[in-house]
Amino acid sequence: MRRRVIFRGTALPLLLLAPQLAVTAVFFLWPAGVAVWQSVLQQDAWGLRTEFVGLRNFAEVLADPDWRAAAWNTAVFSAAVAGLAMGAALVLAAQADKSIRGARAYRTLLIWPYAVAPAVAAVLWLFLFHPSIGLIGRALNANGIPWDTRLNGGQAMALVVLAAAWKQVSYNFIFFLAGLQAIPKSVLEAASIDGARPVRRFWTIVFPLLSPTTFFLLVVNLVYAFFDTFGTIHALTGGGPGKATETLIYKAYVEGVQNTNLGSAAAQSVILMVLVIALTMVQFRFVERRVHY
């Protein structure tokens, strides 16, 4: 889409674009290029010599059992976070969409956790589930369920999933509610007159009409679980116990910052970039459809 009436000139628009382009070039394009470049290089153990190794870093990363374990953790973690956060949000949005007393108050109360930082959410959940001082952690231990996220990898994973999903429910809720409100009431009334019960109405009419929103949210939730939850994991478990909660982004961080293994870290970053670009493409292709559905 272009406008008919426009201003003339080349210098002024370029000047207006300069700040954005400068930041983009210096902090986005250049580092991304460097990452791609470093991913095909390898330093020797003393960091003295660097040689071109082609795709060897990628081959090594993909064959590394630790990386594969992290990939599996990421898959489990993301599926659990997206499923939990979207499921809970859909149930709540379907209720909040009804004309009931206090609907606005419920909405406000459900929306604001969006503002809580992932790392702060982690601290709140740690305080609840701490094995010796946490309200719930202690209660579990007192009732014969041995609970310690510092020893049990499965429990650690469950806790990071809870902390990450908790924060994301409000985001999904906002979008599901907007999606529900956009469904014409006449369609539902017609189905109702035809004798369709609420549950049937939901699955045969509401849910299909909501599928664009659902699909959009799925992509957003996956991106959130892949990248934004670094703070949750860093603050809550540090990737442990062992490597039970180490996701791909966390592993890239450990490799690059703590082990300063640049070639491998760069290869991992490039793999993540490809992943996020693929997800964004899917999202945009789908946005086109979402507008016209």
Partner 1 sequence: MSAAVEEGDRLAAAATTRRRRQSGALTHAILLLGVLAVVFPIWIAVVGSTHDASTIGRGDVPLLPGAEAVENYATALTGGAGRFSSSPATLMLWNSAAMALLIACGKIAISLLSAYAVAFFSFPGRMVAFWTIFITLMLPVEVRIIPTYQVIVDLDLFDSMAGLTVPLMASATATLLFRQFFLTVPDEVVEAAKIDGAGPLRFFRDILLPLSVTNIAALFVILFIYGWNQYLWPLLVVNDRSLETVVVGLTRMIGTGDAQNEWNVIMATAVLALLPPVAVVVAMQRWFVRGLTETEK
**Which of the residues 52 through 71 are near partner 1 (CB under 8 A)?**
none
> Rule CB under 8 A: which of 175-204 touch partner 1?
175, 178, 198
The residue among 60 and 228 lying less far from partner 1, judged by its C-beta, is: 228
Q: Does 4 bind partner 1 (CB under 8 A)?
A: yes
Q: Does 98 bind partner 1 (CB under 8 A)?
A: yes
Phi and psi at residue 196, to the nearest 5°? -75, 130
Instruction: Please choose, out of 48-56, 65-73, 75-83, 216-224, the segment that lies near partner 1 by the rule CB under 8 A.
Output: 216-224
Interface pick for partner 1 out of 41, 76, 174, 183 (rule CB under 8 A):
174
159: amino acid identity, one letter: L
Instruction: In whole angstroms, give the CA distance from residue 109 to residue 114.
Output: 11
Q: At which residue do the structure tokens 């459809």 appear? A: 289
Q: Does 135 bind partner 1 (CB under 8 A)?
A: yes
Q: Does 106 bind partner 1 (CB under 8 A)?
A: yes
Contact between 38 and 266 under an 8 Å Cβ cutoff? The reply is yes
The residue among 64 and 283 lying less far from partner 1, judged by its C-beta, is: 283
Q: Exposed/middle/buried for 28, CB within 10 Å: 0-12, 13-18, 19+?
A: exposed
Q: At which residue do the structure tokens 């990898």 appear? A: 153
Contact between 221 and 82 under an 8 Å Cβ cutoff? The reply is yes
Instruction: In whole angstroms, give the CA distance from residue 255 to residue 48.
Output: 19
Instruction: Please choose, out of 41-49, 151-159, 201-209, 225-233, the segment that lies near partner 1 by the rule CB under 8 A.
Output: 225-233
Q: Does 95 bind partner 1 (CB under 8 A)?
A: yes
